[in-house]
Amino acid sequence: MSYNPLDPAVTSNPYPHYAQLRANEPVKWLDMMQGFAVSRWDDVEAVLSDGKTFSSAQFWPALLGEYDPVPEVQPMISLDPPGHVRIRKLANKAFVPSRVGALSDRIRSVTHELIDDIFAKHGGEGEFDFVWEFSGLFPVSVIAEVLGVDIARRVDFKNWVDDLLAAGNRAAYGPERLAEIDKSSQAIRAYFEQVYDERSANPGDDLISGFIQAEVNGERLTRSEVLNMAILLLIGGVETTTNLLGITFAHLKTHPDIAAAIWADPTRIPALLEEMLRFDGPVQMLFRHTTCDTELAGIAIPKGSLVLPLLGSANHDERKFDRSEELVLDRNPKEIMSFGQGPHFCLGSYLSRMEAKSALEILTARFESIEAIGETVKWSDSYFARGPKSLPVRFKAR
């Protein structure tokens, strides 16, 4: 069994491939990626914790390549300390628990609105696409409010984000798919250029206005830095929660005992989400580059090499977790790799957890049942982000 992250058969279920890597080649050179895949927990943690040896500076270029909508500046995700700290301090203001907690009512109202729309369209029982009628619209509605962008464009936002993340697979695509990705890259840039001009002329209390007006050590963010930050936060705000919810319902289909337990006792939802983040996380890998010659698990890695810490594999490492390949509702993992580690730990992790918890609580309260239809799930083609492209479900309202 060979590990090729560009192969759709691998992206649909990478975990058997990860297991083989951990057992036989914990640090493996991948020709198709021109980089080293790192699969064991301790080694992944070492890479993410050592920003001096394993730099983030090429993260965004490695993921998006020529389809980066704002290529003239590095996004926060690609900045190493100390430059990273300046931008992150600004972004942190949007995601401190007190500010996120203030969104709680809006998160719940968005959930109810989407469920009302489903009932209005499909009645009290029937079928709908969970991704395109709920999980894909729910978090984008929340992050749109945070950023101060037009919620009516939320389907566009979802499509643009999907296409940008698909750029990671650009080596495997033909001209038609690449043209779609390029079109989305240009569209998202044009949209936020317009928003920037509007907020510059008429600032509000939204995050983009805050970025435009903010000063750090007497300096303001440049136009490109604001555009970059807004697009990065849109991507993070859309993709993680969308995929976490889609993944959860995909696996509840194959774990009916866990579904029954959650419906019977919704207080177990936080435990389910933590285990789901471990078992099948929405982000599968990250990108680092070595700043010097180094060694990992006995493998020499030259300076300037691409290193791919596999978060999804680390979360399945049998050295870290008992029954690591099983979904165990009450596992309550104390540590998971799903939001990264070190200086680039995902600052939206609190928001994503809160969104998913609120959504599941309301879904279990308003639906007697929701069950995925069909034997197979159509997974996204991205090896970086993982989640269902679509998820037809059968439902019955309470």
Count the alpha carbons within 13 Å of 64 in the hemisphere toward its beta carbon: 27
CA distance 202 to 99: 23
Q: Where are the alpha helices (DSSP H) in 202-268?
A: 207-213, 223-254, 256-264
Residues 6+ apart with CB under 8 A from 35: 29, 287, 305, 306, 307, 308
At residue 395, what is the residue type?
F
DSSP output for 146-163: HHT--GGGHHHHHHHHHH
pLDDT in tens, 127-177: 999 999 999 999 888 888 888 889 899 889 989 988 998 898 898 899 999
Across the beta sheet with 392-397, the strand order is: 125-129, 392-397, 367-372
pLDDT in tens, 281-296: 999 999 999 999 999 9
- Tokens linked to 81: 């300390």
Residue pair 44/38 in contact (Cβ under 8 Å)? The answer is: yes
List the one residue out of 153, 355, 141, 332 whose CA is nearest residue 245: 355
DSSP output for 277-293: HHHS-SB-B--EEESS-
pLDDT given for residue 291 in this prediction: 96
Residue 380 φ then ψ, to 5°: -60, 155
CA distance 199 to 206: 9
Tens digit of pLDDT at every position of the chain (398 positions): 789 998 988 999 999 999 999 999 999 999 989 999 999 999 999 999 998 999 988 888 888 889 999 999 877 776 666 666 667 776 666 566 676 677 788 899 999 999 999 999 999 999 999 999 999 999 888 888 888 889 899 889 989 988 998 898 898 899 999 999 999 999 999 999 999 999 999 998 788 888 888 776 777 888 998 998 889 888 887 888 999 999 999 999 999 999 999 999 999 999 999 999 999 999 999 999 999 999 999 999 999 999 999 999 999 999 999 999 999 999 999 899 998 877 666 767 888 899 999 999 999 999 999 999 988 899 988 888 899 999 999 999 99
Residue 29 φ then ψ, to 5°: -75, 130
pLDDT given for residue 343 in this prediction: 65
**Per residue in 258-273, is it b (16+ CB within 10 Å) or e — as a string?**
bbebbbeebeebebbb
- Tokens linked to 319: 């050295």
Q: Between 223-254 and 138-147, two packed helices, what is the crossing angle to 10 degrees?
A: 160
At residue 236, what is the residue type?
G
At residue 171, what is the residue type?
A
